[in-house]
Amino acid sequence: MDLYYSFSVLIVLASFFAYLNLRYLKLPSTIGIMIIAMLTSILLVVTGHLFPKIFTHFSTLLQDVDFTEVLMGAMLNFLLFAGAIHINLKDLREQRWPIMVFSTVSVIISTFAVGFLLSLIHI
């Protein structure tokens, strides 16, 4: 399955799930979409035992999707943009010093932790 078709299917499913959430569940969008996606997955597994031919078709369809390529190649840009568009710059400016301190300290701790673990592995 091409990246374009995979991306299109994911957008259509997410849009449909968002509509169902908005219409019936009325939960926050991320929570509602995740709940509907989990229920759909459970439904597919249960119906897969009742209709093994359809389940096999869906299984082969999902095995053909390279999730890393879909996520990193197509969806990551949109996910980062969607997360960044909701940032209030005034609040970010007010919290700039704690953000800079915590991010710098966490990068330093992460660097030393990864370096230490890799030095243990490379015996």
Tell whether 102 and 46 lie within a shared domain.
Answer: no
Q: What is the C-alpha separation between 86 and 105, in angstroms, rounded? A: 25
Range of the domain at 117: 88-123
pLDDT tens digits for range 6-24:
778 878 898 999 999 999 9
The pLDDT, as a whole number, for residue 116 is: 94
Neighbours of 6 (CB within 10 A): 21
Question: Rg of the Cα trace of the chain?
Answer: 21
Q: What is the pLDDT of residues 97-109, one digit of tens each?
A: 999 999 999 999 9
C-alpha pair distances (Å), 60 with each of 44, 55, 63, 83, 90: 14, 9, 5, 32, 49
24, 72: one domain: yes
Q: Do 106 and 82 share a structural domain?
A: no
Asked if residue 116 and residue 76 are part of one domain, the reply reads no
73 and 108 housed in the same domain: no
Residues 75 and 19 in one domain: yes
Q: Please choose, from the candidates 47, 65, 77, the residue with its C-alpha nearest in 3D space to the C-alpha of residue 5.
A: 65
For residues 10 and 24, membership in a common domain is answered with yes
Amino acid found at 67: F
Cα torsion angle, 42, 44, 50, 55, sign:
negative
Section 67-71 average pLDDT: 79
The encoded tokens of residue 70 equal 């879909």
15 and 37 co-located in one domain: yes
